[in-house]
Amino acid sequence: MKRGLVLLTFVILAGGLLLIPALLDFGVPAFSDMDDYFLKNGQEQTAANNIVTAVVFDYRGFDTLGESVVLFTAVVGVGLMFRRMLKEEEYEDE
Amino acid sequence: MNGFLIEHAPALLIMLPLIGAFATPFIGRVSPRVRSAWVVLIMTLTTLTALLLASDVFLNGTQIYVFGAVTPDLTVPLDSGGIPIRIIFTVDAMSALMQVIGAITGFAVLLYSLSADRIHSGLESFYTLFLLMIAGIMGMVSTGDLFNFFVFLEILSISSAGLIAYRIDGGLAVEAALKYFVLSTIGAMVILIAIGIYYGEYNALNIAMIASRMQFTLLDKVALVLIIAALAMKCGSVPLHFWTPDAYSMAPSSITAMLVVASQASLYGLFRVVFTLYNVTLNALTVGWIIIILGVLSMVVGVTMAIPQKNVKRLMAYHAISQTGYMLLGVGVGLAVLGNQPLMDSFGYIAMEGGIFHIINHAMYKGLLFLTAGAIFFRIGTYNLNKMGGLGHSMKYTMIFFIIGALAIAGIPPFNGFASKLMIYESVFAFNPVLAVIAMVVSILTLASFVKVFHSIFMGPKLPEYETVQEAPVPMLIGMGLLAVIVILFGLFPQLVVDGLIAPAAHALTDQSGYIAAVLGGA
Amino acid sequence: MFWNLPFIAVVTLSLIGLATVVTKKNLIKIFLGINIFEAAVNLFLISLGYREGGIAPIFTSAPSTDMVMATPQALTLTSIVIGVATSALLLSFAVIIWKKYGTIDTDQIRRLRE
Amino acid sequence: MRMSKLVRTGADLLYPFALIFGLYIILHGHLTPGGGFQGGAVVATGAAIVIVAWAYEDVAGMIRKATMKVQESAGLLLFIGAAALALGLGYAFFYNVLANSGSLFGLPVPFGANTGELNTAGVIPIMNIAVGIEVWGGLTIILLYLLSGLNKKEEGS
């Protein structure tokens, strides 16, 4: 039952994914106005030569904060896993 | 000062928990008491910000915050030709409602957790992750940018996974967390593929921008399928629900109450995608029926799996799946008649309001029930129903809170579950009577299941091994009491809540052009 | 369809990754499947931004101003870091499971039953 | 497990170079390919080489978990502080207040190819440094934790 559900989901996902190369053309994007804006004005607005950095830290800086937070969260989570447990914490349910 | 606060409230709502989380490991070194005070302070400030922002949104309409612009409301730069280029927070009535749910539940859960989790080690990390979870929920429900949504989804799932595994429990909790985390990582990646498809087609990441360019081509259908599959998994709907009982039962009870809110944030994402990103361009009837079927399956499977459970938290987790079904059912009916104004006015809006009202009600009573289960575990150290009995003599307040929660989940007046379920029944009956009958039967089964649970936990003679059991500590009771009061108030004055909070949220969700106009300006 | 080779590679890689997750029993292999899937998604994002004949969007000593799109690269960077964080947490779960259960076979990690 | 003397000496020799190279990538993030994450990862790789070459007990003395934790949180606080600077000056959160201002990192840059000037890009280099510090600390501490978890002897199953 559970296995069947997983396989069904897998088939749906695979079918969806297979449609991507048939429908999306590589190298000729349909719209590019947002990125043209970055390439045209990014250098003057942020004074950074590297437009990728300008996007990462200026135009989409908030995403980068989120991404650093993800790393921080993972570190805290890993630390939590390997903490020294107290004796009275070691119980088992049922 | 007040103007500054309201103007920057969407940013502060994320910044406060983040700063709190970054500083908690240091402040925890000072003393546990200082750490608790710090966490409570941060959480209070966050709650106040959320309430302030929500009151402003409900009074003055959608609030916009543009990160990195000269002024927070400059969504479209003058020289860009009408496209938003930065990350924009769009807080409309629906987002504000979700923020209020997150803030209130988080506050109550934090008070409860101060004494419930006191005996554990690694508490600085625990509270750090707790605050990060709050930040993740707040970010998910307020963002107007799809990639930003993905980032906050990841923050939420990583912190949830860490917290589910918190008790370790001889590996059992880690196993539950592993199951949850593998599924949610794959789900997040699938969402990222969908975001990539939107980006490749429309070169935009802003929800309003994509919505205004939406063509509903075959690729958009693929993206819709991917995103619905992933978010339905994250909110614990049936085809991929099996992580829910494990994760909910192995997490500390305080975290379980937050996980309910977390899954509702995913539900919010699902509704946001369907209603704001696609709206009438999609074949509303088909997608509406898909969501309705998911909802009905969740309701039926959840409640039938719940009845034979022996572990009280597993039982409640299956009921959570079944209640998620009600929300999907209500909103799905609203979606199925979207675009057909007479039907929408006659029952569509009521169905959606019922579904959305059920979200807030579910967060309150389910949180309350999980907290009572945690209080019982705190005193007697087991979740097994067969080992419990006669606790009504010694844990009177906990028993009262449990009764309130159980009656609310079963939809008995005058509690809030009744109010929202009634709205769902009457509107769904107008749409398709069979669905309404199923919903009522599930409700009756829920009541039966909780009567059984209540009987085996609290009734009967006092068992000898629980002779010395005392009432739960006061901070835990305060946390539970806060939620119980809301359950009763919402049940007594449902019309007030529906008119003031729920109806604006439902209309904001269906009003795609209003959302686009708020971000892009004009209409 | 040969000009769509990057997208075909994306689909192939994601199917390999997903199939690994579904069929394998070893936890570490499942994590590798997840990592392959993540790599496929990253490849997808980065190939969305390519334009014929474009160079990297960096103006330091750039030979031309005909550049590829910058946003997908930023998104990919974010997604890679998220992938690292995810893998770290998954591996730490595997370590705990191995210490507590003495196995990383998913058929035996089934103590959580009703 | 400690590796042979040759490997250990090699790792010790390699570490300063990895450090310098990583810091270079961090500092020139706004001019050349790279940035905080990439540079931080390079520095953490240097630390990883040392950790692999030496045993966990030796490394625990060289690279302290507490220091790395402080470093990580400090990087994040610096990052959020650089972003919040704009709030104090009346702009939106994350506004690049220092770019084109003439002060620190404030030289203006005209459109088009140029050879690159370090003193540009406003808060971006500051954020790069913050993220670099954070990633350096974060990745190193993950490695240390995983190693300590594997090394610890557990009683029971």
- Give a three-class secondary structure readout of B70-98: CCCCCCCCHHHCCCCCCCEEEECHHHHHH
Please indicate whether, in this complex, the C-beta atoms of D92 and B71 are within 8 angstroms of each other: yes
Query: Is the pLDDT score of D155 beyond 50?
Result: no
Euclidean distance between CA atoms C92 and C96, whole angstroms: 6
Euclidean distance between CA atoms B155 and B176, whole angstroms: 18
**In the prediction, which pLDDT does A91 show?**
56
Query: Is the pLDDT score of D154 beyond 50?
Result: no
Q: Which amino acid is at B141?
A: V
Mutate to test the interface with C, among D68, D72, D153, D157 (most CBs of C within 10 A): D157
Q: Which residue has the tokens 């029952």?
A: B347
Q: Please, which residues have CB within 8 angstroms of residue D104's CB and are 6 or more apart in sequence? A: D98, D119
Residues B141, B95: contact at Cβ < 8 Å? yes
Euclidean distance between CA atoms B226 and B134, whole angstroms: 26
**In the prediction, which pLDDT does B523 show?**
44
**In the prediction, which pLDDT does B191 show?**
92
Say if D62 falls within a structural domain.
yes
**In the prediction, which pLDDT does A28 show?**
76
**In the prediction, which pLDDT does A90 show?**
58
Query: Is the pLDDT score of B458 beyond 50?
Result: yes
**In the prediction, which pLDDT does B123 show?**
85
**In the prediction, which pLDDT does B31 show?**
86
Chain D residues 33-62 with CB within 8 Å of chain A? 33, 35, 37
For the stretch B353-364, pLDDT in tens is 999 999 989 999
Residues C58, D29: contact at Cβ < 8 Å? no
Which chain B residues contact residue A35 at CB under 8 A? Answer: 203
Query: Is the pLDDT score of D156 beyond 50?
Result: no
Q: Which residues constitute the domain of residue D91?
A: 5-151
Query: Is the pLDDT score of D117 beyond 80?
Result: no
Q: Which residue has the tokens 């608790």?
A: B36
SS3 C29: helix
Q: What is the dihedral of CA B190, B196, B197, B198, to 10 degrees?
A: 120
Separation in Å, CA B376 to CA B40, B320, B458, B495, C46: 24, 19, 10, 34, 52
Residues B385, B310: contact at Cβ < 8 Å? yes
**In the prediction, which pLDDT does C59 show?**
81
Q: At what angle do helices B93-116 and B349-380 cross, to 10 degrees?
A: 10
Confidence of residue C89 (pLDDT cuts 50, 70, 90): very high
Percent of chain B with pLDDT over 70: 99
Confidence of residue A94 (pLDDT cuts 50, 70, 90): very low
Say if D157 falls within a structural domain.
no
For the stretch B99-156, pLDDT in tens is 999 999 999 999 888 887 777 888 888 999 999 999 999 999 999 899 999 999 999 9
Identify the CA nearest to B328 among candidates B305, B351, B307, B301. Answer: B351
Query: Is the pLDDT score of C108 beyond 90?
Result: no
Q: For B173, which DSSP code?
A: H
Euclidean distance between CA atoms B42 and B333, whole angstroms: 39
Which of the two residues, B187 and A89, has the higher pLDDT score? B187
Residues D17, D50: contact at Cβ < 8 Å? no
For the stretch D10-64, pLDDT in tens is 888 998 999 999 999 998 888 888 888 899 999 999 988 888 888 777 777 777 8
Strand partners for C60: D114
Task: Please check whether residue D112 touches C, CB under 8 A.
Answer: yes
Q: Rounded mean pLDDT of B443-451?
A: 91
Residues B9, B47: contact at Cβ < 8 Å? no
Of B487-491, C5-9, C106-110, give the lowest mean pLDDT range. Answer: C106-110
Of B85-89, B440-444, B489-493, D102-106, give the lowest mean pLDDT range. Answer: D102-106
Contacts 24+ apart (CB under 8 A), D40-44: D40/D131, D40/D132, D40/D133, D40/D134, D40/D135, D40/D136, D40/D138, D40/D139, D41/D135, D41/D139, D42/D18, D43/D18, D43/D19, D43/D132, D43/D136, D44/D135, D44/D136, D44/D138, D44/D139, D44/D140, D44/D143
Q: Is B522 exposed, middle or buried (0-12, 13-18, 19+ CB in 10 A)?
A: exposed
**In the prediction, which pLDDT does B221 show?**
86
Stated pTM of the model: 0.93
Q: Rounded mean pLDDT of C55-79?
A: 84
Q: Which helix (H) or strand (E) holds B482?
A: helix B474-492
**In the prediction, which pLDDT does D157 show?**
34
Separation in Å, CA D34 to CA A46, A70, B483, C39, D150: 17, 20, 49, 19, 33
Mean pLDDT value across chain B: 87
**In the prediction, which pLDDT does C2 show?**
63
Q: Which amino acid is at B117?
A: D
Which of the two residues, B65 and A4, has the higher pLDDT score? B65
Euclidean distance between CA atoms D113 and D31, whole angstroms: 11
Q: Please, which residues have CB within 8 angstroms of residue B37's CB and are 6 or more apart in sequence? A: none
Percent of chain B with pLDDT over 90: 28
Q: Rounded mean pLDDT of B166-191?
A: 88
Q: Which string of b and e fits D29-54 if b means at least 16 CB within 10 Å? A: bbbbebbbbbbbbbbbbbbbbbbebb
Which chain B residues contact residue D70 at CB under 8 A? Answer: 26
Phi, psi (rounded to 5 degrees) for B80: -95, -5
Euclidean distance between CA atoms C6 and C3, whole angstroms: 8
Q: Please, which residues have CB within 8 angstroms of residue B108's CB and are 6 or more apart in sequence? A: B257, B367, B371, B479, B480, B482, B483
Q: Which residue has the tokens 């009567």?
A: B451
Q: What sign does the CA torsion over B226, B232, B237, B243 have? A: positive
* Domains of chain C in sequence order: 2-53+64-101 (1.10.287)
Which two structure tokens, joined as six digits, stand for B64?
Answer: 């916009």
Residues C30, C20: contact at Cβ < 8 Å? yes
Euclidean distance between CA atoms A21 and A15, whole angstroms: 12
Mutate to test the interface with B, among D69, D93, D124, D157 (most CBs of B within 10 A): D93
End-to-end CA distance of chain A: 26
**In the prediction, which pLDDT does B115 show?**
83
What is the domain count for chain D? 1
Mean pLDDT value across chain A: 80
Query: Is the pLDDT score of B321 beyond 60?
Result: yes
Residues in chain D: 157
Q: Rounded mean pLDDT of B46-55?
A: 91
Q: Which residue has the tokens 């509702």?
A: B264
Please indicate whether, in this complex, the C-beta atoms of B168 and C96 are within 8 angstroms of each other: yes
Residues B91, B55: contact at Cβ < 8 Å? no
Query: Is the pLDDT score of A77 beyond 80?
Result: yes
Say if D156 falls within a structural domain.
no
Chain B residues 154-213 with CB within 8 Å of chain A? 154-155, 158-159, 161-162, 165-170, 172, 174, 190, 193, 197, 200-204, 213
Chain C residues 10-69 with CB within 8 Å of chain D? 56, 58-63, 65
Q: Rounded mean pLDDT of A29-52?
A: 82
**In the prediction, which pLDDT does B154 show?**
92
For the stretch B210-265, pLDDT in tens is 888 888 888 888 888 889 888 988 888 877 888 898 899 888 888 999 999 999 99
Residues A63, B88: contact at Cβ < 8 Å? no
Which chain A residues contact residue B382 at CB under 8 A? Answer: 93-94
Which of the two residues, C66 and C77, has the higher pLDDT score? C77
Query: Is the pLDDT score of A3 beyond 80?
Result: no
Of A68-82, B295-309, D136-150, give the lowest mean pLDDT range. Answer: D136-150
Mutate to test the interface with D, among C60, C76, C82 (most CBs of D within 10 A): C60
Q: Which residue has the tokens 């240091």?
A: B26
For the stretch A21-40, pLDDT in tens is 777 777 777 788 888 888 88
Concatenated DSSP letters of B175-212: HHHHHHHHHHHHHHHHHHHHHHHHHHHHS--BHHHHHH
Euclidean distance between CA atoms B370 and B368, whole angstroms: 6
Of B231-245, D67-81, D99-113, D121-135, give the lowest mean pLDDT range. Answer: D99-113
Question: Residue A38: closest CA among chain D residues belongs to which residue?
Answer: D111
**In the prediction, which pLDDT does B515 show?**
87
Q: Rounded mean pLDDT of B476-487?
A: 90
Say if D38 falls within a structural domain.
yes
Q: Which amino acid is at D119?
A: N
**In the prediction, which pLDDT does A87 show?**
62
Phi, psi (rounded to 5 degrees) for B344: -60, -45
Q: What sign does the CA torsion over D87, D91, D95, D99 have? A: negative
